[in-house]
A and B are shown apart, each in its own frame.
Chain A
């Protein structure tokens, strides 16, 4: 067959055949490249691109769980959630966005909504995702939005739960507050997302995992413009569990009212369990302002307030215990046989030690005095002598055993340990040896000694219950939403001190005298029908100059001493133990004493004492010569 096109021609004339072949070769090389590209996309990059396809079409909506409620010991609500209204806008649904925004701003009386939409867009807001432009709307704003709905295309009213503290600042330091999760927390908490609520302080923080519950979610298929097409999967949220506290609402209120506008703290505990009945710290703050989204100005004001309203003085305030520390001296001296109950010292109103005078608060002195009267009248010289006989380390050992100078183990962050000095402590802290004269200051609870009100309350409870140191707790149980008990918190014993019951009786007798004897320093705390045992204390803020006796009221407020009072009642079978400090109030008997009295009165009004009920007899407890090592 002859082929017209491929016939041999004159030399140099292009032939069709080879050119077609060249074209064919080029074509198949190109098709090969296309096939290679498809192999790359569909086989090699398949996984990545398939994921991207899913990310395109699936949008995850999180449904945050409702935070658990908080009740007092009698199941009365203290913290719940209330609806909070917010205005949301879907810019794609508004045909004339600037007009809608202008109208909305006028109705709400706010500005800068445009910027919020721009910010959301900058952060990659997908189309048709609403932007929340105004939160925490008040009632007139909600009504305005509702009634102008038709003029506001794309604008929706949304409801979100907001933490609500029913009694405002009541027990604020114990309950704490919530806020938006911080960027730092987001790194370590994988379950949290930007904008989530998290407990920041107090119980809200300590029991975050209990209160929070598990957020649910929806997987929604969307089309290319973001319209929601169908629900692919839904995981329902699990609401947080409720917490039943050990505190009593009425007692807490009484305690806070009794402190009033003064600065101070009070801790009331059940000496037989370590459950906290009331914990007050003043001044306080209103946790609701955090739930509403606190402004940075308001936050600065709270944080820089010289009275430190954000500080929980009950666990974070460390003060010299003053004469309340004589309880420690007494127990230590009797148990270690440094003195007997009949040992008598002479108080001339002060003693010279080294080249310095150590005074008794009573200028004219107490004369010959033994332990009982020394506690009742709070003779300083008696305890200087006791301190000298004991030495600082034995005092420190007993103070530690009674829970002073170390964290109580309460489930709150930022608890401070305070200081109980010893020779070893001073060596470690200052690289100095201990001077015997310093023991005298320690003996009357001054000098380096610093304790928290909670520690003193737990010490009072230990003396009251016959020598068991409990871990203070403020949660009694965790309940599910339907009321079923999820978890209970039985009392936790931190240490058994094995104090000779006779020693404890002697100390208690002294404390009864403090409140009930005519010469007692806390006569103001006496109750008519219940025997209260207590001890006053004065925490020096500044050292008095040598040889000068200043009248307290002549000093400027910030240099005045803090007044302490610790107590328990009824003295024979104690139901409540309290420590209270009122800052810069001078003598504890006249300032903290009446506060404790009011709380005691309220307690016995709420929980009348059964006279027939004998206390777990101190005599039944084991007698031991030494202090058991404590587990911490």
Chain B
């Protein structure tokens, strides 16, 4: 571990740090609102836990920032192995709710290894892709190992089933391979193959996943069934209007018309109460964080740091796009959290650590 340098403190990236905390603030506010019961006007235990996680996450973010990101390269494969092991534990002895096994019960809290897997996959891909690509970019034979590294955790999360995390893992890997120098022709062939494979994917879907897809294409086909979530979410967002109904005044979330209102559909609960002004503010916070991430990637001193920044920025972006796209009815319903905002310890802490790593990359561009 390289020695600690005092200069680091001057270069600490307050932009990423404060944007992350601001998003956590929006999250806590939304969780308060979404759990504010009609009869009991008190803070829900969920809010208290979320606050604890924000605190722990902030500490871990600072810790990650202080750690020289370059050492991560040597831990990439062990960490990946640990994540896969945890996914196997989930598959064997996981704690299940609502028909899917996603958690490991650690007594104090339930750990969601899918969230760890996102970090691990970014890290292991960046570790592999940090080498300079050959002339013409990565060819098919360079992609065998990343494909295998991706396939194992994806297969395990799809088994849970957790379509959302599987999708994110695939998207982030694709993003990293593209940015790190994929051959254009290979990219075109892969794109075409993916399009041809889409109908085959239908065969592997579970009935509820197919239902979601059908009701996404036509929500009115089953307004009280699976289309219900999309319709209610759109109603919640739209009824917020320009200024919103006001904090704690949303009826869609309060009266339980919204499903999963503290996690996957927290955006709708937020949008109902804070309106267009609120959603633009939230979108602005994400845009700023993403822009900062891209800036960090472009100014990084090495490929490893640059790709780490691209990877974590990509995780944020894909989750935001899919989650809001789903809540606004542009994408089918998949269980993906709104990063740093949705209720949930594993997701929140994983994202805070990722932001910490990004700060670390930025801090150390002056050092060598």
Contacts and interface: CB of A to CB of B under 8 A. Distances in A.
A30 B236 contact: no
B254 to A, nearest CB: 8
Nearest to B236: A53
A5 B303 contact: yes
B256 A46 contact: no
A490 interface: no
A53 B275 CA distance: 14
Contacts of B271: 38, 42
A13 B276 contact: no
Contacts of B79: none
B67 to A, nearest CB: 21
Contact of B328 (A21, A23, A41, A48): A41
Interface in B117-171: 132-137
B132 A34 contact: no
Nearest to A124: B224
A37 interface: yes
A158 to B, nearest CB: 26
Interface string B224-259: 000000001011111111100000000110011100
Contacts of B234: 41, 49
B294 A35 contact: no
A35 B134 CA distance: 39
Interface stretch (A76-84, A222-230, A431-439): A222-230
A35 B179 CA distance: 25
Contacts of B321: 30-31, 34
Interface in A6-30: 6, 9-17, 19-21, 23-24, 27-28, 30
Contact of A24 (B134, B178, B294): B294
B252 A56 contact: yes
B175 interface: yes
A27 B300 CA distance: 20
A188 B89 CA distance: 69
Given A16-B306, A41-B238, A41-B328, A56 B251 contact: yes
Contacts, number: 160
Contacts of A102: none
A52 B236 CA distance: 9
A180 B239 CA distance: 38
Given A41-B238, A56-B257, A34 B280 contact: no
Given A4-B303, A24-B294, A43-B276, A31 B287 contact: yes
A230 B254 CA distance: 13
A57 interface: yes
A3 B298 CA distance: 9
A337 interface: no
A19 B279 contact: no
B286 A31 contact: yes
Nearest to A5: B306
Contacts of A116: none
A589 to B, nearest CB: 75
B81 interface: no
Contacts of B298: 5-6, 17, 20-21
Contact of A37 (B236, B256, B328): B328
B173 interface: no
B276 A42 contact: yes
A13 B240 contact: no
A231 to B, nearest CB: 13
A53 B235 contact: yes
Among A5, A15, A54, residue most surrounded by chain B Cβ atoms (within 10 Å): A5
Nearest to B283: A35
Given A37-B330, A42-B279, A19 B181 contact: yes
Nearest to B301: A4
B357 interface: no
A50 interface: yes
A45 interface: yes
A39 B276 contact: yes
A13 B275 contact: no
Contact of A10 (B135, B279, B314, B328): B135
Contact of B133 (A14, A54, A225): A14
B275 A42 contact: yes
A16 B303 contact: yes
A14 B182 contact: yes
Contacts of B257: 53, 56-57, 223-224
A221 interface: yes
B12 interface: no
B302 interface: yes
Nearest to A28: B287
14 contacts: A3-B299, A13-B132, A20-B297, A23-B179, A31-B317, A34-B325, A35-B280, A38-B279, A42-B276, A43-B242, A46-B238, A49-B239, A56-B251, A56-B255
Given A16-B307, A24-B291, A41-B237, 6 more contacts: A3-B299, A11-B135, A27-B317, A31-B287, A38-B276, A223-B255
Interface of A: 3-6, 9-17, 19-21, 23-24, 27-28, 30-31, 33-35, 37-39, 41-43, 45-46, 48-50, 52-54, 56-57, 221-225, 229-230
